[in-house]
Amino acid sequence: MRNSRGFGAFVFVVCVLATIQNFIVNSIGFLDAYTGSAFGCGHEWFQCNGRIVPVINSIQTFIEFSHRVGVPILTILLLIAAVTSLMRYRRWREVPLFVSLSIFFVIVEAVLGGLAVQHDEPPAVIATHFGVSLLAFVSVFLLTVYVRRAERVYCEFLHSGRVIPLRGEMPPRAFRVFGWLGILVIYLAMYVGAYVSSSSAGVFFRGFPIPTERPGLPHHALLLDWTHRSIAGLLVLWMITLVIWTSKMRRERPDLYRGAWFAMAFVIAQAFSGVYLVLSHTSIGAFMLHVSIVTGLFVSLCFVAFQTLPPFHGRSPER
């Protein structure tokens, strides 16, 4: 059964559903943080205002309860995706790796969420929660990508017994270092942005393209604004360099070239959404657009970085 095409299609569909559900859970979580709904169910976990199914008497309770309902749905989908993908594709090492990372980060995300509603977490911890939620999404997304890639060579594996690598030969070392450093830059930008959001410093941001806030604002708003915009500018230059570099190897590694262009598109969209966020004085629509685009940017950069690793030749089939 696990060697049938129908089973392969089922695995891929479940992985896609887990990815979509993870994005939904993260989006509700971002909305939760923006609207201050983290305590819409009080300081209780697992119950909500003393009940398993609460009385929805406020938008904060609705948002928080929706977030809590989404987590077990994600967990079930992820467990099904993990078990079925390992049954069919465990010989490709990328699949067990991202199964493990997905489960690990989703568990850490859930634990941090539970602690957040039981305690008044400082902005630094909430920003860490944001970063972990994106790492969970990236892990589930890349699991889906490599399940799809493994399925494309699965028939050949059945006929030849040879585990075909899912990546080409390694690019130059300098490019590999550049790709992985990009992950650190975007993660720093996301952490600072999450800190700005959780500390409510963003409401003080003014001016484009140069910040025009006066010194002495709460939460060191002027310093945070300069820091966030500087890192954003660095990211734009980073993506331009990435596209130019990958264009020179697009025949040998078209995957890197496509990934770089995706990252470039997302960083441009992110810049415009950042302008919209400042000019709208951090409206809810601008905020949700901004965090959604940064998710796509982070995924694109993680894909490019991981694709620079040496090809895994997997394990031989059991006889």
Q: How far apart are CA 29 and CA 22, in angstroms?
A: 10
Q: What is the pLDDT of residue 120?
A: 63
pTM of the model: 0.87
- Judged by DSSP in three states, 48 sits in strand
Q: How far apart are CA 114 and CA 44, in angstroms?
A: 9
pLDDT tens digits, 196-215:
877 777 777 887 778 877 78
| pLDDT band, very low/low/confident/very high, at 319 (cuts 50, 70, 90) | very low
By percentage, how much of the chain surpasses pLDDT 90? 46
Q: Answer for the pair 120, 38: CB distance below 8 angstroms, yes or no.
A: no
The residue-averaged pLDDT of 237-266 equals: 95
The more confident residue out of 81 and 319 is: 81
Q: Answer for the pair 257, 180: CB distance below 8 angstroms, yes or no.
A: no
pLDDT tens digits, 284-293:
898 899 999 9
> Which secondary-structure segment (H or E) carries 270?
helix 254-279
Q: What is the pLDDT of residue 303?
A: 95
65: pLDDT strictly greater than 90: no
